[in-house]
Amino acid sequence: MSTWKVFAVAAFAVVCFSLVFATLIIPMSVSAEDHKWLWFTGALVGCVVMSALFVLFLNHADRTFKR
């Protein structure tokens, strides 16, 4: 596996894990009740999108090794 793919996997993993933690921590720490659900929704959507991109990248990288 080339070096850039290793760094891409590491970057995707860090972003996904940080978005998961942000989805849990930010709504608990936001003091304004008006924006709590907006933060939660935004972090959840970001988490789902980045996780989907991560899965797609891993599937693409796995296909190159099956040849």
Query: Tokens 């789902």 correspond to what residue?
Result: 48
Please determine, for residue 3, whether its predicted confidence score (pLDDT) is greater than 80.
yes
Angle among Cα 25, 28, 32 to the nearest 5 degrees reads 130
pTM score, two decimals? 0.71
Tokens of 27: 């709504």
pLDDT at res. 32: 63
Q: Is 20 exposed, middle or buried (0-12, 13-18, 19+ CB in 10 A)?
A: middle
pLDDT in tens, 24-67: 888 778 766 777 888 888 888 988 998 898 888 888 877 766 65
Q: Where are the domains of the chain?
A: 3-65
The 8-class DSSP code of residue 67 comes to -
